[in-house]
Structure 1
Amino acid sequence: MYQIKKIIVCLDQSEMDETLVKFAAFIAKINQSKKIYFTNVIRNLSIPKDILTEFPNLVNNMIEERANQMKEVVSRNFDPELKVSSSFIVKEGQLSKKILKLANEKSADLILVGRKINLPGSGVVSQRLARRASCSLLIVPEKSLPNIKKLLVPSDFSDYSKDALEEAIEIAEKNEGKSEIFCQNVYSVPSGYHFTGKSYEEFSQIMLENATISFKKFIRKIDTKSVKIKTLYTKDEDDDPVEDIIKKAQEIKADMIIIGAKGRTAATALFIGSLAERLIQMNDKVPLLVTRPKGKNAGIIEYILEI
């Protein structure tokens, strides 16, 4: 997997900013990142021309004030000993569009955004960024603490699950083997099992054995770099694997869930997968890393949809 050298951190002048800055410092330290872009986006300003004529420095003063506020938050929460170059960028416009454009311009490796629970805000931006970003996205719930001791990787043994597990292995290796990786497969018993003459319990065992064999084939394709990976098999009883993933993450006290974006080409990048979509919507307890190979964004489709 690629190195996380350039990080975009989306700040919004709320209490969430302190959490995001601490996470940015933590990630930068582990990855020896080179550049962090602390970014704030002001919603489209509709200031009458006569007001701007009378107060020509109004917008520039607002931008300068936002930048200074970001610098203050960073100075309080970022380790000054880290040798990371920082920039403070204030943009005007729609948040997702500006962040996506900035990520492309700066060739960012990771976008860091907050997931609010009690604070004002919504998860719409996270959904848009996950679909269209040209890099990975880390969604951090408010008041989360930066840690990577336990990593949960949901897997259906697909190529994008492979991306996620390789990212987890990379993280564990950089953490000098101090991280535990749990690879979770959620399996279910098909509704037509009774036509086979098998009982529910018997067919459940068949599905579990099939998942076990599939994992063995899957893991052979991956360089685990001697990192230990614990497999977890969860039977989905209510046709909702996302709840099973979130429940397991809380049960093992995971510090991060890592999932691969389904879209790997320009034609499919808008479709990150229903599992990732629902995890972004429902998970508000555990930091969620949505991995995407750098550059695999929506390309021209993104621009067509934005017209």
Structure 2
Amino acid sequence: MYQIKKLIVCLDQSELDITLVKFASFISKVNQTKKIYFTNVIRNLNIPKDVLEEFPHLIDNMVEERKMQMKEIVDKTFGEQENVEFSYVVKEGQLSKKILKLAHEKSADMILVGRKVNLPGTGVISQRLARRASCSLLIIPENSVPKMDKLLVPSDFSDYSKDAMEEAIMIVEKYGGNAEIVCQNVFTVPSGYHFTGKSYKEFTAIMLMHAEINFKKFIRKIDTKNIKITPVYTQDEDDDPVEDIISKAKEIKADSIIIGAKGRTAATALFIGSMAERLIQLNDHFPLLVTRPKGKNAGILDYILEI
């Protein structure tokens, strides 16, 4: 996996900005990040041409004001760190497109975006970024605290689950190696189990046994760096594994959930996986990291060309 050398932080002049700047500081300290782009996107202004002719510096002044407001929050919140360069970027237009274009141009390693719970706003931007970003996306609910003592990694033992696990291991290693990773596999008993002649209880035991075997095969392919990884197996009984994941995160008091994006190529541009989609929609309590190997852009070029 890669280090987070270039970070984009999406600010919107709400109270959530303070939380995002704190997370940016935490991430940059652990990863020795070199460059952080604090970004604000102004919706299309649609200022009449005659007004701009009368006040030719109106937009420039607005942009400078936004940059100064971002700088003020960063100066108060970020804390002292050496060798980190800040850049304040203000764009006009559609938020998701401008952020994705910036991430592509700057070859960003991660995008930080807020998840509003009580504050006004929606989570649509998070889903668009998760589908299209050419790097990992960290979604931070309001009032979250940057901490990495326990990470939950949902896994179906696929390649994109391997990406998520390797990312979690790298985070823990950089954080100091004392944190615990909980790897959760959610399994279901198929509806046709009775055709096998086995009882529901017996087939549940069979599914659990195979989950345990598959975890051992899965973890053997990964360099765990001697970090503690605890497997847990959850039987899904209501056809909603995401609820099981959020419930487990609450039970273990996870500091973050890490999941891999399925979409790695242009052919899978809009398919990050139903589990990731549902987690983005339903999770409003835990920081959620959607990992994607850098450069595996999910149709980003076609998307930004529409701008």
TM-score between the two structures when normalised by the length of structure 2: 0.98
Question: Helix, strand or coil for the counterpart of 2:294?
Answer: coil
- TM-aligned CA deviation for residue 215 of structure 1: 0.5
Conserved 8 A contact 1:132-1:302: no
In the other structure, the counterpart of 1:280 is 280
In the other structure, the counterpart of 1:137 is 137
- TM-aligned CA deviation for residue 197 of structure 1: 1.1
In the other structure, the counterpart of 1:76 is 76
Conserved 8 A contact 2:100-2:304: no
**Is 216-225 or 12-21 further displaced after alignment?**
216-225
Matching of residue 152 in structure 1 with residue 189 in structure 2: no
Render the CA deviation track for 1:185-205: whole Å, top value 9, x for unaligned.
000100011111111111000
In the other structure, the counterpart of 2:174 is 174
Render the CA deviation track for 1:129-188: whole Å, top value 9, x for unaligned.
000000000000000000011000000000000000000000111112121100000001
State the AA in 2 paired with 1:208: L
Structure 2 distance, partners of 1:29, 1:40, is 23
Matching of residue 190 in structure 1 with residue 190 in structure 2: yes
**Is 268-277 or 5-14 further displaced after alignment?**
268-277
**Is 196-205 or 104-113 further displaced after alignment?**
196-205
Alignment of 1:228-267 (within 5 A): 228-267=228-267
State the AA in 2 paired with 1:51: V
Question: Helix, strand or coil for the counterpart of 1:267?
Answer: helix
Conserved 8 A contact 1:267-1:301: no
Structure 2 distance, partners of 1:291, 1:23, is 17
In the other structure, the counterpart of 1:53 is 53
Structure 2 distance, partners of 1:159, 1:219, is 12
State the AA in 1 paired with 2:30: I
Structure 1 distance, partners of 2:264, 2:114, is 24
In the other structure, the counterpart of 1:86 is 86
Structure 1 distance, partners of 2:18, 2:304, is 36
State the AA in 1 paired with 2:165: L
State the AA in 2 paired with 1:212: E
Structure 2 distance, partners of 1:300, 1:81, is 33
Render the CA deviation track for 1:267-299: whole Å, top value 9, x for unaligned.
113210000000000000000000000011123
Structure 2 distance, partners of 1:246, 1:49, is 50
Distance 1:66 1:266, change over 3 A: same
Matching of residue 44 in structure 1 with residue 44 in structure 2: yes
In the other structure, the counterpart of 1:16 is 16
Stretches (4+) displaced over 6 A: none
Distance 1:134 1:304, change over 3 A: closer
- TM-aligned CA deviation for residue 49 of structure 1: 0.7
Distance 1:301 1:90, change over 3 A: closer
Question: Gaps spanning 5+ residues in structure 2: where?
Answer: none
Structure 1 distance, partners of 2:23, 2:82, is 13
Matching of residue 116 in structure 1 with residue 116 in structure 2: yes
Structure 2 distance, partners of 1:162, 1:126, is 22
Please give the root-mean-square deviation of Cα atoms over the aligned residues, in Å. Answer: 1.3
State the AA in 1 paired with 2:172: A
State the AA in 1 paired with 2:78: F
Render the CA deviation track for 1:42-72: whole Å, top value 9, x for unaligned.
0001100111111111101110110000001
Structure 1 distance, partners of 2:90, 2:301, is 27
Conserved 8 A contact 1:134-1:295: yes
Render the CA deviation track for 1:226-250: whole Å, top value 9, x for unaligned.
1110001000010100000000001
- TM-aligned CA deviation for residue 304 of structure 1: 8.8
State the AA in 2 paired with 1:238: D
Question: Helix, strand or coil for the counterpart of 1:80?
Answer: coil
Conserved 8 A contact 2:133-2:300: no
Aligned length in residues: 307
In the other structure, the counterpart of 1:208 is 208
Question: Helix, strand or coil for the counterpart of 1:148?
Answer: coil
Conserved 8 A contact 2:97-2:304: no
Structure 2 distance, partners of 1:301, 1:114, is 24
Render the CA deviation track for 1:76-101: whole Å, top value 9, x for unaligned.
11012343100000000000000000
Q: Equivalent pairs: percent with the same residue?
A: 77
Structure 1 distance, partners of 2:80, 2:300, is 40
Conserved 8 A contact 1:187-1:233: yes
TM-score between the two structures when normalised by the length of structure 1: 0.98
Question: Helix, strand or coil for the counterpart of 1:114?
Answer: strand
Structure 1 distance, partners of 2:177, 2:163, is 19
- TM-aligned CA deviation for residue 300 of structure 1: 6.3
Conserved 8 A contact 1:262-1:269: no
